[in-house]
Amino acid sequence: MNKNKEKIKIGLIGLGTVGSGVYKTLQSFDNVEITKIAVRNLNKPRNIKGLDNSILTDDAYQVVNDPDIQIVVELAGGLDPAYDLITTAIKNGKHIVTANKELLAKRGEELFNIAEEHNRVVLYEAAIAGGIPIIMPVKTILAGNSINKIEAILNGTTNYILTKMDVEGASYEQVLKEAQELGYAEADPTGDVEGYDAAYKIATLATITFHKRIKIEKVYREGITKIRAEDMKAANDLGYKIKLIASAYLDKQGRADVRVHPMLVSKKATLAHIDYVTNAVSLSGHPVGNVTLSGPGAGEFPTASSVVGDILAISAELGKTEYLLPMMRCQHHKTAETIDITDTENKYYLSINAKNNKGVIGKIGIICADNNISLQSIVQRGVCDNNTADITVITELAREKDIQNAIRQIEQDGNKVNSLIRVQV
C-alpha cells in the first residue's frame, strides 16, 4: 500500500470484545488509523498490545464531533445514546459502521433517511450474524434474485443451550447456569433466551432481502425457556432436532410472515446440524435456489471481521466519488404488509399429560378433528406414577387459530398441554 497516502481516520465507540478485535485487526492495515476511542470506564485494564491510552475518552461526543474523523464505528449497542451519537456523526459528515441490531430494527428507517439526506453511508454487516457475510452478498451478488424465504439460526447463546440440552439430556435451567458460568450467556439472558436478539436480526435481514420494511413490533417472538429435556428426547425419537429459528416468508400476495420461535427441524435439514455457538442463514429464491451460509455468529475476531470489512469498503471509496457504495444504501421505502401468527398455517408438535383413562387418545383425536386438525402421528409414551399418560402428537398443516382452540378444549378435560412447538415444513 502507498505509505505516503494520508491515512483515513476512524473513531471507535466501544472497546469491549468486538471493539478490541476491531482495534487489533486494523493494526494490520496501513491506510486506516483509529484516532479516538470512546469507552465507559477510562481506568479499566485492557489487554490490547500497543494501545495508546491518550486516544481514549469517556465522552463519546468527542468522537462524533471530531472534525478529522471520517468513519465512526459504533459498537456500544442499545438505543440511547447510540441513536443520537450516530445521527450527530452523520450530520457532521461522517460515514457509519455499526453492529447495533436493536437500533437498526427499531429506528433503522429514520437512520437511513438521515444518512441519505446527508449523503452518508451506514454499513452493518456485523449486526446480523457476526462473522458470516450476509448483508453485502444479499445486496450485491444475490441482487438479481427474488428471495421469498429465509430460515436462520441467529443467536449463538440459545443454539448453545439447545445443543447442550440435546447432547446431555439436561434441563434448560441446568444448561443456562453452565452457559452463564462459561460466559456464553449474560447474567441477564432475557435478550437472547426470549428471542429478542434474533427478532431484531431477522427484522433487518427480511427488510433488505424483501425490499420492504419489516416493523419490529410485527415480528412474532417466542423464546426457548419452556423447552424441556422431554421435548428434546421426543423430537429425536421422531427424527427432529429442536432449534430456535428466525424465519421470514413472502406469500404470493407479497405479504410477509416474520417470526422467531423454537421449531422441530428434520434431521435431514442443514439447520438441524448447526450446533453450539455457530449461526447459519438459509435463503431460498429464484434463480439461485437454496443457499446456506454458516459460521461464527459472535466473538471478538469473527465479528471484527465483518466490521473491518465494512470499514475497508468505505475507505476504498473515500475521495474517489461523491456518492459512495450506491448498492449498499437503503433502496426501499414501503412497509410490508405482515401476516399475524394467528392467521398462519403450521405443523405442530404437542406434548400432552393426560389422565390415563380408556379412550383418552381417541378423545384428543376427536377434539383435533372438530377443529379441522389432521394428525400425522399420536403416540402414548408411557404412564407416570400419578396414573397420567404422556402423549405426543404431530399434526399435519393446521391453522394457528384452530390449534390454540384445540389446546383450550384438551385442557378443559383436565389434561395439561406441556409443550406446543411448531414443526418445520
Q: Where are the alpha helices (DSSP H) in 133-268?
A: 135-139, 156-168, 172-182, 190-193, 196-210, 229-237
Per-residue CA distances from 97 to 89, 186, 235, 308, 324 (Å): 11, 25, 41, 9, 14
Supply 174's cell numbers: 441446568
Q: Which residues are catalytic?
A: 201
Pairing of strands 388-395, 345-355: antiparallel
Helices (H), 15-99: 17-26, 61-64, 82-91
Note whether 7 and 69 are within 8 A (CB). no
| Amino acid identity, position 306 | S
> Helices 156-168 and 229-237 meet at what angle, rounded to 10?
70
Cell of 16: 469491549
Distance CA 172, CA 251 (A): 35
Residue 151 to residues 24, 73, 123, 148, 279, Cα–Cα distance (Å): 33, 29, 23, 10, 11
413 vs 370: CA distance, rounded Å:
15
